[in-house]
Amino acid sequence: MEIKKINFLQSYSSILLLLGGIIVGSIFGLVFGEKVLVIKPIGDIFLNLLFTAIIPLIFFTIGSSIANLEQKEKLGKLFFIMVLVFLSTILISAIVMIFAVYLFPIHQDIAVAKVPFENIQSGSVGDQIAKLVTTNDFFELLSRKSMLALIIFSFLIGFATLQSGEKGNAFKSFLDSGNEVMKQLLNIIMKFAPIGLGAYFAYQVGIFGPQLFGVYAKPMAVYYAACIFYFFTFFSLYAFIAGGKRAFKVFWSNNITPSLTAIGTCSSIATIPANLDAAQKMGIPAHVRNLVIPLGAPLHKDGSSMSSILKITFLFAMFGKDFTEPSTILLALGITIIVSIVEGGIPNGGYIGEVLAITVYGFPMEQALPVAMILGTLVDPIATLLNANGDVIASMVVSRFSEKTKWD
């Protein structure tokens, strides 16, 4: 029992420290009011460090991930079905969250300073797409305003390295080393997150008042309710699709350990062994579970898809923007797919997706990113549950359509 307590504290220590920093900062803001302006530079320093690390982190992480794929993982019927299942569940989870925020609207009760938006220049749709996915020169990729272009370029670098075979091994090693270095750098920066975000929150509360708490409370309630609904309703539906009542019973009877592991570790990667063991007990063929679950951990994230929609709608409400336009919703769905892929296996990788969304919609980065980070921290536990557990149910569906598994 003592070991479990230690493991729990170790798994959640970063979240607990971050929440502690936010709480302490909030108390400072309530007590000292506008006097907390003196500690605002601390928050600014933390955010500037984070902004600086984001660009190389994206390049090395995506480039390394693609370069290390094996040819067998890209070919064949199994891989095609797996991709379809991943994309389908990610989009379904996002749509569920969109309905949730429409049923329970997040009103723009938060006060923010009036900072001009970084609007995308007017022009034809084709011109806007071209500016969004490419840049005129290489150095422009190093700006956080060109986030989508950088992601696409990183994918292309990874595929080019993969296609180079043995001749590209030296460059692949460079990508792998850079990926590891940037992970460690982000870990170092995030150790200061409780202080940095605490200072930021102290400033927010001190300047804008305690009404901030109510603003975060409602989005959290909507998200947790939507995730619980999705977990029990749609995972059950996926199980029925995979094989009717028998698959339903097989899934839920073997799903307890993976669920508890996901909550206890707060990590999709750490849940892989439990997921593989459960998949074996369910009767999912070895070649299916050994492909879908390890790849699903970094690439398939229903919880992150839902949190992406929540953050986007929250930011739209925060800045008084309209989220009802069909083009806005379609773009949000596209961002959720990218976020699910980009987050994979990166400590605090969700921040990359947040930067992308903020950049694409033209929100002021200095205000929007800290808010999205705080909201992401608050919803992380249940998001991890959906992320990790979704890989088990996805492997059942893939097994059903690729191997005609009957679950007898």
Task: Return the HEC string of 257-279.
Answer: HHHHHHHHHCCCCCCHHHHHHHH
> Distance between CA 261 and CA 390 in Å, rounded?
13
Q: Is residue 253 part of a domain?
A: yes
> Distance between CA 181 and CA 295 in Å, rounded?
22
Alpha helices in 117-192 (DSSP H): 125-133, 147-163, 169-190
Burial level of 386, CB count in 10 A (0-12/13-18/19+)? Answer: buried
Residue 64, domain CATH: 1.10.3860
Alpha helices in 283-364 (DSSP H): 286-299, 302-318, 326-342, 350-361
Please report, for residues 144, 196, 240, 247, 268, the alpha-carbon distance to residue 393 in angstroms, rounded to integers and kept in the order given: 36, 38, 10, 10, 14
> Distance between CA 318 and CA 309 in Å, rounded?
14
> Distance between CA 45 and CA 43 in Å, rounded?
5
| CB contact burial 277-307 (16+ within 10 A = b; e otherwise) | ebbeebbbbeebbebbbbbbbbbbbbbbbbb
What is the CB-side half-sphere exposure of residue 65 using CA atoms within 13 A?
A: 20
> Distance between CA 384 and CA 127 in Å, rounded?
38
Q: Is residue 108 part of a domain?
A: yes
Q: Is residue 268 part of a domain?
A: yes
Q: Is residue 408 part of a domain?
A: no
The SS3 call for residue 136 is: coil
**Tokens coding 183:** 């992970």
- The pLDDT score that the predictor gives to residue 122 is 42
- Contact 335/372 with Cβ under 8 angstroms? no
- Count of structural domains, the chain: 1
247 Cβ neighbours under 8 A, 6+ residues apart: 239, 240, 396, 400, 407
CB atoms within 10 A of CB 13: 11
- Type of residue numbered 255: N
Cα-Cα end-to-end distance for the chain: 37
Q: Is residue 182 part of a domain?
A: yes
Burial level of 184, CB count in 10 A (0-12/13-18/19+)? Answer: exposed
138 Cβ neighbours under 8 A, 6+ residues apart: none
User: If you count them, how many residues does the chain have?
Assistant: 408
Indicate the pTM of the whole model: 0.69
DSSP codes joined into one string, 195-227: HHHHHHHHHHHHHH-THHHHHHHHHHHHHHHHH
- Contact 196/348 with Cβ under 8 angstroms? no
Range of the domain at 256: 2-403
273 Cβ neighbours under 8 A, 6+ residues apart: none
Q: Tens-digit pLDDT profile for the chain (408 aa)?
A: 444 444 556 656 766 787 788 788 888 888 888 888 888 888 888 878 877 887 887 788 778 877 876 654 444 677 788 889 999 999 999 999 999 998 988 765 454 443 344 444 444 445 656 776 788 888 888 876 677 788 788 888 988 988 888 898 999 999 989 988 987 887 788 788 888 878 877 887 787 665 556 677 888 889 999 999 999 999 999 999 988 889 899 999 888 888 877 876 666 776 887 888 888 888 888 778 877 887 787 778 898 889 889 988 888 888 878 888 888 888 888 888 877 766 654 444 556 667 777 888 888 877 788 888 778 777 877 888 898 889 999 999 998 888 777 776
**Tokens coding 300:** 């398939």
Please report, for residues 53, 92, 304, 385, the alpha-carbon distance to residue 236 in angstroms, rounded to integers and kept in the order given: 40, 14, 19, 15
User: Which 8-state DSSP code applies to residue 191?
Assistant: T
Q: Is residue 252 part of a domain?
A: yes
> Distance between CA 353 and CA 326 in Å, rounded?
21
User: Which 8-state DSSP code applies to residue 35?
Assistant: G
**Tokens coding 86:** 């991943």
